[in-house]
Amino acid sequence: MAIASPSTPSFSASICCTRTDSTPARSLRFPPIQTRLQSRQFTLSCRSSVPSSNESDGDLQYEIQHGVSTDHRRRGSLVFVTLPLDALNFPVGTMKRKKAMVQSFRALAAAGVEGVVMEVWWGLVESELPRVYNWEGYLEIVVLAKHCGLKVRAEMAFHQCGTGPDDPFWIPLPQWVREEIDKDPDLAYSDRFGRRNMEYISIGCDVLPVLHGRSPIQAYTEFMRSFRDTFIPFFGGVITGIQVGMGPAGELRYPSFPSQKTARTLRSRELGEFQCHDKYMLASLNACAGDIGMREWANGGPIGAGSLMQNPEGSEFFKSDGSWNSPYGEFFLAWYSGMLLLHGERICREAESIFRGLEVNLSGKVAGIHWHYRTESHPSELTAGYYNTSIRDGLLPIARLFGRYGFSMCCTCFEMQDAEAQQMNPDSSPESFVKQLSLAARLCDIPLQGENCASSLDDGSFEQVLRMSRFNWNGPGTPTFSFNFVRMDKNLFEYRNWVSFTRFVRQMSDAKFFRPNLGFGDGDMPFLSLSASSTAGVVLA
């Protein structure tokens, strides 16, 4: 049976208040960065180092099984492939389609893929009763990966998957958690219209004993500790990465956009809704407003934030000269984003303590929210909890947070291009968002992991990933960028798609493909021509 974490902090109603736990004090305030990245130029030089001559057991096993050297995978950027959402049977938790999974793993290993990304669902492992964990299916996957010479990145998924029982990929929060939410609906996020979101527990009650005497942070902590204790023989050799979920879709953000709408939202004008109207978030807001003597600012989210689909310029809060840039707007957005950073701080601290001393890389995920990036206020980023505007860098505080705990930073939309996105929404700029995030990672000296937001298998999408990945290349022997391809399905293994994918994996592994010096200017990055070589199809066992 898991033991409650002794370092979980006691509850404070406001992020402005002094913390009272026994953990060494760290500043939880992040001063605003008054800089406009678009108007400045940065030139970053890469450094190189001599790669280690020590070979891991996993590499040796790969070479023995496939008769090829894996040295090429060390020189460039590593590629992982995310497993299907229905890799395990819900709710029993056993592996589905075992023969097909074996064939797929062998094909990925033969193609030079470094490993697989395994989403570890809270609602599947600790489904019926608190502190009762079922790791059976995930043990099967890890053992299979080991036999095929693949590494594993495990994502601690504390959020809901899918839209509901009719969704074939639906994995809800644990049943006992949903029962507690039924008793106290304020455990779920709420917007100004009273609409509840069940994707993730409200961070307003992070450290309150609302889950059978445990806080959500304690529940997440004990889950991760049980995972560590169960999979301890596989760390380092097979399990090389742990990504810790911090919100909807595993991302450190508010559910301002329901996840099932994300694909459509990426190409829309939706502003999003502030998620601060449950009683726990309102208690924190009230305490913060009281601390500065402005009780009138404690009544919920901003007035005049417009409707979801409204043009930002028609909104009193989000328009260019709107109240987002007023004293009230600065107070509210600092509190709203600060609560999110505090949530990330708590989870990072617990995860770093649990996995300390193991040969595993920790990471957190940031949402690629870019569809109002070219406006002054960046409304869709603000409602998601990123205080990132044309005059304030809101991504650097997140990078600093991850850097303090030795976390890598993961982000989606690496395959998206401005020209395509702006056909649907002129204000969108996925490339600018990724470049700003890449710069924040470089300034904080943390590795970056890229992801695609849609299963695009065309050459243009792969070329865009290669192009954006150059912002994070640090020279042979010291890769600071890796890529998670989302996700493995039958389309991936169709001949034409497989040829494109294997060529992409080979190009990512080739250090010669990347330039040693990268400039961050107003223009686009110089783009090297891709190799024209083709790849033969693979024969599945």
Three-state SS at 361 = strand
Buried b (16+ CB within 10 A) or exposed e, 72-108: ebbbbbbbbbbbbbebbebeebebeeeeebebbbbbb
Active site residue 451: yes
- The conformation of residue 408, written as its DSSP 8-state character, comes to E
Q: Within 10 A of 376 (CB to CB), how many other CB atoms are there?
A: 18
Given the residues 251, 270, 273, 463, select the one marked as catalytic. 251
| Residue 496 β-bridge partners | none
Three-state SS at 235 = strand
CA distance 261 to 189: 17
For 457, the token pair is: 């298998």
* Contact predicate 369/432, CB 8 Å: no
On the question of a cis peptide bond just before residue 195, with omega within 30 degrees of 0, the verdict is no
Given the residues 126, 415, 451, 463, select the one marked as catalytic. 451
Q: How far is CA 414 from CA 80, 367, 382, 531, in A?
A: 14, 11, 21, 20
φ and ψ at residue 369, rounded to 5 degrees: -95, 105
CA distance 149 to 165: 36
Identify the CA nearest to 361 among candidates 242, 482, 441: 242
* Contact predicate 464/524, CB 8 Å: no
Alpha-carbon dihedral of residues 51, 55, 57, 63, nearest 10 degrees?
100
Residue with tokens 């997140």: 398
Identify the CA nearest to 450 among candidates 485, 501, 497, 405: 485
For 157, the token pair is: 């998924």
CA distance 465 to 479: 15
CA distance 63 to 304: 61
Q: Within 10 A of 473 (CB to CB), how many other CB atoms are there?
A: 20
Identify the CA nearest to 437 among candidates 406, 399, 473, 403: 399
Instruction: List, in order, residues 6 or more apart from 272 with CB less than 8 Å away.
Output: 256, 257, 308, 379, 380, 382, 383, 384
**Angle at 338 (CA atoms; ends 395, 309), nearest 5 degrees:** 70
Q: Catalytic site residues?
A: 251, 451
